[in-house]
Amino acid sequence: NAGVTQTPKFRVLKTGQSMTLLCAQDMNHEYMYWYRQDPGMGLRLIHYSVGEGTTAKGEVPDGYNVSRLKKQNFLLGLESAAPSQTSVYFCASSSQRGPQGRDTQYFGPGTRLTVL
Amino acid sequence: KNEVEQSPQNLTAQEGEFITINCSYSVGISALHWLQQHPGGGIVSLFMLSSGKKKHGRLIATINIQEKHSSLHITASHPRDSAVYICAVRSMIKAAGNKLTFGGGTRVLVKP
């Protein structure tokens, strides 16, 4: 099993360009998440999904859109990139076990995005 | 005030020393996670706790729910333990969808 994979690993964009980050998991997990990690700050949740066809906003959703058309994939889109979106983006997935869904989150390797 | 606070922010130890990292949180939680992020950037889950204590190899994690505090201990530290250690908490609210709130991380450097 590959676990959680992210594509691409690195990307440089110009302000105003658009792009899509792809996250894929082969563990049949219900939950998927997109985070950004910035120097001096903890991981912050951008958007998340509790199942195929559903998405919800996290802590810092502005400037991003997501889609979960297939259970194994979670896409993060930047419609018009801004320098403030320069960051490292991590995808994660987890399964829900028990009434409070306490299972571990598995992280992808990250995508380093620079917006000039 | 952040919901999850870690201390110290940075820690340098000599190989073989005992290391303790602390995490305090201010919200009701259903679980607390300790994660490790190596210099290459990958993030790995070390522990998930809802009470008591867990041990894996040289790593020990404890949690005190009443005091809203957790500690991660590394015994007989080794240079390969050099990493950023991150504390994260899961809300008690089921509708929160397993969301985690993260601390800022503790950067650990173990010198040979």
Tell whether the model's pLDDT for residue A71 goes beyond 80: yes
Residue B36 phi/psi, 5-degree rounding, is -125, 130
Residue B90 has pLDDT above 90, yes or no: no
Partner-chain contact B33 A105, CB within 8 Å: yes
The answer to whether B99 faces chain A, any CB pair under 8 Å, is: yes
Interatomic CA distance for residues A101 and A29, integer angstroms: 12
Reference A105, options B30, B90, B73; nearest CA is B90
Identity of the residue in A48, A103, A106 whose CB atom sits nearest the CB atom of B99: A48
Interval A74-115: pLDDT, tens: 999 999 999 999 999 999 998 866 545 557 889 999 999 999
Each residue's pLDDT tens digit, A21-58: 999 999 999 999 999 999 878 899 999 998 999 999 99
Strand residues in A26-79 grouped as ranges (E) = 31-37, 44-51, 54-57, 65-67, 73-78
Shortest CA gap B24–chain A (Å):
14
Please indicate if any CB of chain A lies within 8 Å of the CB of B96: no
Q: Across the interface, which of B45, B99, B102 has its CB nearest the CB of A104?
A: B45
Report the alpha-carbon distance of residue B98 to residue B91 in Å, rounded.
Answer: 7
Region B16-29: mean pLDDT is 94
Interchain contact A61–B (C-beta under 8 A): no
pLDDT for the residue numbered A42 = 84
